[in-house]
Amino acid sequence: MKAKAAIMATIWILISLGISYAEDGTFSGEVSVTGVIVDGKNDNAKFNEYRDIRTGVYGSADVQYQMLKDHVEFEAKDIGYNTQSYTLDAGRWDTFRMKLNYDEIPHNFTYDARTFYAGAGTNNLTFNGYPPGTNPNKWNTFDYSTKRKNAEGSLQLDMFKPFFLDLSANEQQKRGTYPIGVAGTSPGGISIEIPSFRDYKTDNIRVETGYRTKPYFFTLGYLYSQFDNGDGLQDFRNPATANTAVTTDTTYLPPDNDFQKFDFQGGVSLPYQSRFNVNLSSSRARSNSKLLPTSFADDVTAATSNIGVQGRTGISPSSPYFNGKLNTDNYNFVLNSNPIAFFDVKLFYKYLDKINKSDNINTVEGTEVLSNSLFDYIKNSYGLETGFKLPASFRLTAAYSYTQTDRQREDLPRNRDNLVDVNLKWSGLDFAVLKVGYENLHRSAVFNSPPGPVVDLEPWIRRFDAAPLYRDTFKASAEFFPVENLDIDIGYKFKRTSYTDTILGLTDSMTDDVNFNVNWQAHKQLLVYGYIDFEQIVNHQYQRQIGFGASPTPPYSPPTAAAFNWTAALNETTYAYGVGANISVIPQTLSLELAQNSVKSTGTVDLTYLLGSVPFPAGRNQDNIDLNPWDNYRLNDYVVKVVYQMTKIVALTAAYAYEEFSYDDSQYDGYLYYVPGSAGGYLTGAYNNSSYKTNIVLLGANIKF
Amino acid sequence: MKRILASLFLLFFLIVLSPLIMWGEEVGGNIELCKTCHQDRFNSYSKSVHANKGVNNSPANTYGCESCHGQGMDHIQKGGGKGAGGIFSFSDRKVSAAAKSAKCLNCHADSRGLSYWDISRHKSADVSCNSCHTAHSGKKMDLKASQPDLCISCHRNHKMQISKQSHHPILEGKVKCTDCHDQHGTFGTKMVKASSVNELCYKCHAEKRGPFLWEHPPVAENCSTCHTVHGSNHDKLLISRVPQLCQSCHDAAGHPSSIYSKFNTFQGSSPSNKMFARSCLNCHSAIHGSMDPSSRGEFFVR
């Protein structure tokens, strides 16, 4: 792939130069070479989660050729590394513009993960003998990592202005090894973490044409997107069964799909400084999948009772294939007007209709018949936004919107949202701008209690995504600029959500958010800056524990050892700060940059048994059950950078950076790869051990021409 | 007759060519005059696309500095200074955002990407073109800073969000704010570049598009039911941690309703795969939808 990238880079350079020589112009750009030394435990995936920083030499270039009418730019970054990117941007003013781009994004999850499987990262995971060994030191090691490669090209034609034509196409590939989890048996039983493969390919093509002038415009667009995931199956040997077949189980991966969308957009200017805009689109997503892959035939003779162990036997779907089809229509209309100097208004209407036309499949599984429900929904939304310029430099904006959602869902089929938003801004002082705002959301919902006798806790559950709620949001901010070159910003936001009808589930949520920022050009040679951010999120949940198969009892029933209520108070506090200075030690010659950033988060879950006089389960009390630490982490980084402008065209850079990430969490502390028992499982170390400390030294040269 | 024809020809000549002659006189305006006091501004302007005579209607082809700043003679006669002689200053905080943007829209109103400026949230929030762009620069799109710093300079609280342990690669420079948002306005809320949140997410995460045999309704309706976009303290950009996130909806008899405490972690006396490591996701991996026709698909464990 590196060779491919190098070839592409060379071709693009040649193209650039070819175009460049077509006409006399100005050649400019910069090339930099940077040597990097990484010291410390940089073998942690978290350090390089989306990066590729390692000991080596990094090169980048940005070359431009400007002519009177034509322009060409070629940019290359991190040449040869997992983060490499190349862009060629060329065109003729008012005529056309073309762009070619190639980009890679790594996503590293965990290095040196372990599994008893052979073939990690492939579609067939096996192991010898039964049961698999439980000593992870004897297991195979591998990395959880994926890489996304994106190649795209676009062409914009403007030579027939005001008509235009835009064409673009891209291909995204995502490959690597990714953790998924499966249940060994069903229901319950052991869990198995599987080093699955990712081999995604998505091709997109977009065409847009239209007519654009000042009084009006319209465009017609078409998008086609195709996602390819091979046969979408992950075969593996299930360690929950003694079956000696090489592979005894299969899990389904995302199916191939395609998507196409037609859209029309337009706008026209109207009297009274008004404008009417419209956006109409219709799209269709499809997927096709074989529900009973050929590999299933191996075990079709297994007993029905074996369902849940091998799972792929004893079922009979009404069709061997599933054809998924989802149509979406989306219509937007917006009329905005500024009829008088101190008043503006915007009226809008939005209609979004998702229609699920997928196959309805009935599967006979033992004595049960399963049927997929075809989820779809319609959203109707309308409202207005108004703005008033008031005396004494006040500006008031007020908005109201109503949204109704109707969805194919048993519990909460309808929502009605009323949203009011009011903001006041005062810019009456020469040295400050002050803003306050308030937003209120009232969501009502239609709730359908499950038909027939109560078989579960459904009558008391309101799922938060559609549950009735009141939400208040208060905002305040102030910008101060008491002297030139000094900016101070303070912001505060408070959001409180009460799920009014919820008895079981998320009952309320609260967020506090404060931020402070200062930028001061204290001297021509000195810029200092700093920021402090604080955020606290508190959620409360009210739950009821009922044993599997037990008859449900309402939440207001007296507690018993088998059926009782419990609560969870989730609290996460995050603060971040940073300080820095840019110092021009010798103007135009020597500069110094200093920076430090820090992010820290602490989380807890305060659990409470509501047992009344019922004794606590063995060994437990209200104080020793809480979850703490809960996604606790701290990220610190320090950077010192010196730039010496040796000549007008050559600059030398030396930098030192230290980065430290420490992570502590109850769910990962004391990590075990194998946990015995029916509630245990086989793990691989995914996401475990993400702490790191790393020193980085950079020495670079930059040539500008 | 010849005289009439000659007169008509002369008239035509004057009508057609006189503007060109006039234009020729005024091309570039009085740049040299402005330069005498504003050399640094002239230097930065010279690097920008506005100084390019190859671009039709660029200031270099029209009135130079006066194309944007207005007539300069009064300004000179009054001895210069910010706003003196009615000169238009983009850095003057007292000048309204609308007035500043209007200067740019004189030429750019029919530009690609500005079709919806009138309905954009930025416009109604008094953001002007020069909040992000400078007419004097050699930088790409004449931006005052690169992303995400430019956007964060107003959206302050996003600085911390994108620095959280779980985030899109925004700080790493691999995802830009404008990959998802159209800063110049769209029909969608939050100025996103799609008809719905899910349509936006599927642009990069096409594998989640389905349609699946078994759909998870909150997932199919809105990704942001469970995920936050800019950054989270929890893996996978989740709004809350698993198992609590799942339990806030699934309180069914059996393991979904159980209280999972420290006793169920690796170090507890009753470790449970519903709690340790990835909790619910240890088994329910196909949470975005499943194609398995059996009950295992219905419960997203395959």
Q: Would an 8 Å CB–CB cutoff place A484 in contact with chain B?
A: no
User: What pLDDT, on the 0 to 100 scale, is given for residue B29?
Assistant: 63
Q: Which of B212, B250, B280 to probe by mutation at the A interface, max A CB count within 10 Å?
A: B212
Chain A positions touching B276 (Cβ under 8 A) are 667-668, 672, 675
Average pLDDT, chain B: 87
CA distance B146 to B125: 21
Q: Look at A254 and A230; give whichever has higher pLDDT.
A: A254
- pLDDT tens digits along A138-149: 999 999 999 999
Chain-chain contact of B206 with A212 (C-beta, under 8 angstroms): no
Burial category of A1 from C-beta neighbours within 10 Å (exposed 0-12, middle 13-18, buried 19 and up) = exposed
CB A462 within 8 A of CB A447: yes
Rounded to an integer, the average pLDDT of A256-263 is 96
DSSP state of B206: G
Given pLDDT bands bounded at 50, 70 and 90, which one contains residue B23? very low
Q: Exposed e or buried b for every residue in A115-140, given b needs 16+ CB within 10 A?
A: bbbebbbbbbbbbeeeebeeebeebb
**A411: amino acid identity, one letter:** D
Q: Which of residues 208-267 of A touch B (CB under 8 A)?
A: 212-214, 217, 219, 225, 227, 229, 232, 250-255, 257, 259, 265, 267
Given pLDDT bands bounded at 50, 70 and 90, which one contains residue A186? low
B261 Cβ neighbours under 8 A, 6+ residues apart: A607, A620, A625, A626, A627, B268, B275
Q: Would an 8 Å CB–CB cutoff place A135 in contact with chain B?
A: no
Question: Between β-strands A394-407 and A377-390, what pairing exists: parallel, antiparallel or unpaired?
Answer: antiparallel
Residue A12 has pLDDT above 80, yes or no: no
Q: Which of A182, A250, A373 sits opposite B285 (nearest CB)?
A: A182
Q: Which of B162, B248, B263, B292 to probe by mutation at the A interface, max A CB count within 10 Å?
A: B248
Question: Between β-strands A692-704 and A590-610, what pairing exists: parallel, antiparallel or unpaired?
Answer: unpaired
Residue B105, min C-alpha distance to chain A (Å): 10
Mean pLDDT is lowest, of A123-127, A464-468, A606-610, for A123-127
Q: Which of B118, B210, B294 sits opposite A324 (nearest CB)?
A: B210
Q: Would an 8 Å CB–CB cutoff place A391 in contact with chain B?
A: no
Q: Which residue has the tokens 């069964």?
A: A241
- pLDDT tens digits along A678-703: 899 999 999 998 999 999 999 999 99
Strand-pair partners of A578: A531, A597
Q: Which of B213, B253, B294 sits opposite A311 (nearest CB)?
A: B294
CA distance A190 to A308: 11
- pLDDT tens digits along A341-367: 899 999 999 999 999 999 999 998 878
Q: Which of residues 273-292 of A touch B (CB under 8 A)?
A: 275, 277, 279, 281, 283, 285-287, 289, 291-292
Q: Would an 8 Å CB–CB cutoff place A622 in contact with chain B?
A: no
Residue B294 has pLDDT above 90, yes or no: no
Residue B65, min C-alpha distance to chain A (Å): 19
Chain B positions touching A66 (Cβ under 8 A) are 52
> Interface pTM (ipTM) of the complex?
0.93
User: What pLDDT, on the 0 to 100 scale, is given for residue A187?
Assistant: 64
Chain B positions touching A628 (Cβ under 8 A) are 262
Residue A311 has pLDDT above 60, yes or no: no
Residue A61 has pLDDT above 50, yes or no: yes
Chain B positions touching A191 (Cβ under 8 A) are 273, 282-283
Element (H, E) at B244: helix B244-247
Question: Between β-strands A163-183 and A650-664, what pairing exists: parallel, antiparallel or unpaired?
Answer: unpaired
Residue A450 has pLDDT above 80, yes or no: no
User: What pLDDT, on the 0 to 100 scale, is given for residue A25?
Assistant: 82
Residue of B nearest to A690 (CA): B165
Residue of B nearest to A232 (CA): B291
pTM here is 0.91
Strand-pair partners of A432: A429, A480
Given pLDDT bands bounded at 50, 70 and 90, which one contains residue B135? confident
* Half-sphere exposure (Cβ direction) of B40: Cα atoms closer than 13 Å: 0
Closest by CA position to A385, among listed B123, B181, B95: B123
Given pLDDT bands bounded at 50, 70 and 90, which one contains residue A244? low
Q: Which two tokens stand for residue A474?
A: 């208060």
Taking the alpha carbons of A452, A453, A457, A462 in that order, is the dihedral positive or negative?
A: positive
Chain-chain contact of A259 with B209 (C-beta, under 8 angstroms): yes
CB B274 within 8 A of CB B266: no
Q: How many CB atoms lie within 10 A of CB A647?
A: 8
User: What pLDDT, on the 0 to 100 scale, is given for residue A296?
Assistant: 57
Rounded to an integer, the average pLDDT of A40-63 is 89
Element (H, E) at A305: none
Chain B positions touching A620 (Cβ under 8 A) are 261, 263
> Dihedrals φ, ψ of A15, to 5°?
-60, -45
Mean pLDDT is lowest, of A19-33, A381-395, A562-576, for A19-33
Burial category of B81 from C-beta neighbours within 10 Å (exposed 0-12, middle 13-18, buried 19 and up) = exposed
Q: Look at A277 and A124; give whichever has higher pLDDT.
A: A277
Chain-chain contact of B266 with A332 (C-beta, under 8 angstroms): no
Chain B positions touching A599 (Cβ under 8 A) are 160, 163-165
Q: Which of B47, B50, B118 to probe by mutation at the A interface, max A CB count within 10 Å?
A: B118
CA distance A492 to A474: 8
Chain-chain contact of A251 with B255 (C-beta, under 8 angstroms): no
CA distance A263 to B115: 15
Rounded to an integer, the average pLDDT of B126-145 is 87
Residue B71, min C-alpha distance to chain A (Å): 25
Taking the alpha carbons of A610, A615, A616, A622 in that order, is the dihedral positive or negative?
A: positive
Chain B positions touching A181 (Cβ under 8 A) are 278, 281-285
Residue A303 has pLDDT above 50, yes or no: no
Chain A positions touching B202 (Cβ under 8 A) are 259
Element (H, E) at B221: helix B217-221
Q: Which of B56, B272, B293 sits opposite A317 (nearest CB)?
A: B293
Rounded to an integer, the average pLDDT of A515-524 is 94
Taking the alpha carbons of B205, B210, B213, B214 in that order, is the dihedral positive or negative?
A: positive
CA distance A307 to A610: 37
CA distance B116 to B119: 6
Chain-chain contact of B282 with A681 (C-beta, under 8 angstroms): yes
Transcribe A392-412 into DSSP letters: GGEEEEEEEEEEEEEES-SS-
- pLDDT tens digits along A317-329: 899 899 999 999 9
- pLDDT tens digits along A556-582: 999 999 999 999 999 999 999 999 999
Determine the Cα angle at A239 with ends A238 and A242, to 5°.
Answer: 95
User: What pLDDT, on the 0 to 100 scale, is given for residue B264?
Assistant: 96
Residue B8 has pLDDT above 70, yes or no: no
Given pLDDT bands bounded at 50, 70 and 90, which one contains residue B10? very low
Given pLDDT bands bounded at 50, 70 and 90, which one contains residue B33? confident
User: What pLDDT, on the 0 to 100 scale, is given for residue B16?
Assistant: 42
Rounded to an integer, the average pLDDT of B85-109 is 89
Q: Which of A186, A430, A513 sits opposite B296 (nearest CB)?
A: A186
Of the ranges A1-5, B10-14, B165-169, the best mean pLDDT one: B165-169
Q: Would an 8 Å CB–CB cutoff place A502 in contact with chain B?
A: no
CA distance A246 to A299: 12
Chain-chain contact of A550 with B253 (C-beta, under 8 angstroms): yes
Q: Which residue has the tokens 């003779």?
A: A301
CA A567 to chain centre: 29
Left (φ > 0), alpha (ψ -120 to 50) or beta: where does B277 sit? left
Transcribe B140-167 into DSSP letters: GGGBSS-TTHHHHTT-TTHHHHTTSSB-
Residue B47 has pLDDT above 60, yes or no: yes
Chain B positions touching A596 (Cβ under 8 A) are none
**A24: amino acid identity, one letter:** D
Burial category of A287 from C-beta neighbours within 10 Å (exposed 0-12, middle 13-18, buried 19 and up) = buried
Q: Which of residues 95-124 of A touch B (CB under 8 A)?
A: 103, 105
Q: Exposed e or buried b for every residue in A475-514, given b needs 16+ CB within 10 A?
A: bebebbbeeeeebbbbbbbebebbbbbbbbbbbbbbbebb
Chain-chain contact of B156 with A515 (C-beta, under 8 angstroms): yes
Rounded to an integer, the average pLDDT of B179-183 is 95
Residue A312 has pLDDT above 70, yes or no: no
Helix, strand, coil percent values for chain B (each to nearest 5): 45, 5, 50
For residue A608, give Cα distances in angstroms to A546, A596, A605, B269: 16, 40, 10, 18
Average pLDDT, chain A: 91
Residue B155 has pLDDT above 90, yes or no: yes
Residue of B nearest to A212 (CA): B110
CB A163 within 8 A of CB A211: yes
**A82: amino acid identity, one letter:** N
Q: Which of B157, B209, B252 sits opposite A227 (nearest CB)?
A: B209
Q: Exposed e or buried b for every residue in A182-221, given b needs 16+ CB within 10 A?
A: bbbbbebbbbbbbbbbbbbbbbbebebebbbeeebbebeb
CB A196 within 8 A of CB A234: yes
CB A33 within 8 A of CB A52: no
Rounded to an integer, the average pLDDT of A446-460 is 79
Rounded to an integer, the average pLDDT of A363-381 is 91
Domain extents for chain B? Answer: 20-86, 97-193, 208-298
Chain-chain contact of A533 with B160 (C-beta, under 8 angstroms): yes
User: What pLDDT, on the 0 to 100 scale, is given for residue A307?
Assistant: 42
Chain-chain contact of B235 with A372 (C-beta, under 8 angstroms): no
DSSP state of B301: -
Chain A positions touching B258 (Cβ under 8 A) are 545
Chain-chain contact of B283 with A182 (C-beta, under 8 angstroms): yes
User: What pLDDT, on the 0 to 100 scale, is given for residue A231?
Assistant: 79
Residue A236, min C-alpha distance to chain B (Å): 12
Residue A32 has pLDDT above 80, yes or no: yes
